[in-house]
A and B are shown apart, each in its own frame.
Chain A
Amino acid sequence: AQSVTQLGSHVSVSEGALVLLRCNYSSSVPPYLFWYVQYPNQGLQLLLKYTTGATLVKGINGFEAEFKKSETSFHLTKPSAHMSDAAEYFCAVSRPGGGSNYKLTFGKGTLLTVNP
């Protein structure tokens, strides 16, 4: 079984400060990893994903994440927070391959607040 743990249900940063959202996963096979963002009253938008290859993944809106197998982590970072980054962020894991492996297992989410 797979699982995802997001450390910190609520993270607050100042505008211009570093954003660090933590995600650890458990998987019996090499995972595919995802970060999604959900703005208030909206659906889910894919920020970035790791499948294979380069472990540092760049996404939209200046976000990036690094897959660290030894630490079973996939933390999300952004060098400088913007007010528009305020949203809820979800880390998710799936298995490689098709069929039932497409299922996403989500973390419980981290609400990011950006203070002026």
Chain B
Amino acid sequence: ETGVTQTPRHLVMGMTNKKSLKCEQHLGHNAMYWYKQSAKKPLELMFVYNFKEQTENNSVPSRFSPECPNSSHLFLHLHTLQPEDSALYLCASSQASWGLAGAVAKNIQYFGAGTRLSVL
């Protein structure tokens, strides 16, 4: 148990569906991340939130919409996905602090178990 909980663990959805992935961390961290892991590809960072503010969006298509209502919760809203979006979606958290350039996340990350998404 890493202290990062993701739900659901498995999700099958059609291309016209709307669904949301949820992540909750109980570690007192203030930085949260969404990653995508496809077969035979490295982990791809999608979004970063430091102190509830989105600080990174790695050219992710708009059919993925993140939401961070507080430092413990992170959502990924999905709509009109494509079959190639099928993957393992991992949430992670870490401790962040304020640096000269703003929020700086410490880089030891704790991952949730992931949501395995299949888009039909």
Q: Do A and B bind each other?
A: no
Binding site for A on B (CB under 8 A): none
Binding site for B on A (CB under 8 A): none
